Amino acid sequence: MATNLWKEAPKPNSISFKSITGDRAGIGLGTGILGVKSYTNDHQVHEKPEMNKKKETNAPVVQTQEQKMEQEIAKLNSLSIKCKKFKDLLEMPNIDFEILRKLSWPGIPDEIRPTVWKLLMGYLPANSDRREATLTRKRKEYEDFVSQAYSRGTQGLDQQLSHQIHIDIQRTNAHIKLYQSPITQESLERVLYIWAIRHPASGYVQGINDLLTPFFQVFLLEYIPENIENNTLELLSKEQLANIEADSYWCLSKLLDGIQDNYTHAQPGITRQIARLKELITRVDGTIH
């Protein structure tokens, strides 16, 4: 008769916690967290006492009003520190764009976002002494574009182009009150029309309207610091609206300058990107290609 070298085997439905999770000291987990039965040396399965189970449940932490206030104060302090870093950088005679990009990466406070965006887009120069003159000159230049294009009102426009832009603007963010405003819609239509006639190689393409709206809304922050989406712009002066419109036009132009090939005939920009992607896939894993 063979010698029984082993103790009685555990029941099939008994599981050693350690056999599943490994040494719990190494992974920092105990049986109370996973709720797994423990398997002891005498192969008996023991349930944890009901009292202990109740203690180990993860009850939601209820914050007091004081704790909530402390968190809000901490957020405001953090935002205040971040704003100061931006303002200190913007007040320098010449901005270091590398530092500005790094500082902007986690997010830009609302009150200085319009200025930072204009700088990052290359619309404003790094030299602080030249910025005001640049804004004045570029805004006047855009005003001249509009005067030339609309010299005979809407009757002198390319009707097919104007109609296509008008249709797209009607559908742009239609659920937001700001974009339902006739003032907003007319302003956006002018920007897109001027851009299209000045870039005949691509002209207007559906989707460019969605590239314009972020600029328009951010530049509104200079004049309407809060609740922008529910504003109809009726309280803005003509000069303020003209400034927002011109700044939006130039920043949109800067953005599209780098991707205009994506919108021209045969879309050579997209073709190049696809070729680069194929080359990258071939290098990484030729079997996929």
Residues 100 and 89 sit within 8 Å (Cβ to Cβ): yes
Handedness of CA 179, 183, 189, 191 (dihedral sign): negative
Domain map of the chain by residue range? 17-55, 79-260
pLDDT in tens, 129-159: 999 999 999 999 999 999 999 998 888 889 9
pLDDT more than 90, % of the chain: 53
Helix (H, G, I), strand (E, B) or coil at 277: helix
* Mean pLDDT to the nearest integer, 71-84: 74
Taking 3-state DSSP, the helix, strand and coil percentages for the chain, each rounded to the nearest 5, stand at 65, 0, 35
Strand 38-39 relative to strand 45-46, pairing = antiparallel
Whole-number Å distance between alpha carbons of 178 and 232: 5
* pLDDT tens by residue, 173-225: 999 999 999 999 999 999 999 999 999 888 899 889 999 999 999 999 999 98
CB-based contacts of 184, cutoff 8 Å, min separation 6: 178, 216, 232, 233
